[in-house]
Amino acid sequence: MMIPFYKMHGLGNDFVVMDERTERFGLTPARIAALSDRHRGIGCDQFVVLRPACRAGADVFVRFFNADGSESGACGNASRCVADLLRQQGGGASSVLQTQAGLLAARIDAPGEVTVDMGPPALGWRDVPLAREIDTLHLPIDGDPAAASMGNPHVTFFMTDLPDPYEAGPALERHPLFPERANVGFARIMSRGALRLRVWERGSGLTLACGSGACATVVNAVRRGLVDRTCRVDMDGGSLTITWRAADDHVLMTGPAVTSFVGTVDLDGYPS
């Protein structure tokens, strides 16, 4: 059962993309986790599945899965990659992605350079979600982090020296305050227009970049008065430009989208 796939990345945050718009491949959580394994599968940070859109105005329904097979409501870097893939397949300069987090409008600024409107952040404690009613700008966790959702839960620590995410990330991801686990961002403010960020992603671990994490970090930094509404976010894999518009509360994310290669894989060798 040889199935085609696309290997793509945004700033090194890499994805396996499979197109199920015409045929289903039996992509169970166990099979997705096995395919995402870097030693025994194709290997990726997140796995992306394309389905026919079922909402008016959308071009494609996009489902995002973490490397452990769990589903995520949003993925910023993968959204840019999907928009660029649609361009490669004959689409226009704009597209609308249907996701679990809502409709995301994407614009091709240049081949391989994409802006995605990630919509407004969710800042209420139920929306993140948190386990109990708490001010999301100051969580009762050592380090005084802030929380926000960009379709998936994010917690941001603002620090002078960035810690080793492998030491701090796993426990914070599963902190009791986060019933759906959390993506954990460690940020250092460099200026009003730039910050440095490393993200431990729930279900995937440390990645070279995190698009939704960059959006959430800028939102939280603006809420604390640390940066301007347009800010460069430097991550291990490169930089994104994030703008949190005051006019409509929407967060715009601009950055690269790259197709590494196209291949096929025999799914019969993976668990169903």
Residue of 75, 81, 215, 231 with catalytic role: 75
CB count in 10 Å sphere of residue 199: 30
Residue of 44, 54, 81, 210 with catalytic role: 210
The overall average pLDDT reported for the chain is: 96
Stretch 196-201: mean pLDDT: 96
- Is residue 1 predicted with pLDDT exceeding 80? no
Stretch 137-143: mean pLDDT: 97
Stretch 163-174: mean pLDDT: 91
- pLDDT per residue over 90-115, tens digit each? 998 999 999 998 999 999 999 899 99
Measuring CA to CA, which residue among 15, 98, 91 is closest to residue 53?
98
Q: For residue 189, what pLDDT band results from cuts at 50, 70 and 90?
A: very high
Instruction: Say whether 44 is catalytic.
Output: no
Rounded Cα distance, 91 and 97, in Å: 13
Instruction: Say whether 54 is catalytic.
Output: no
Query: What kind and span of H or E run contains 219?
Result: helix 211-223
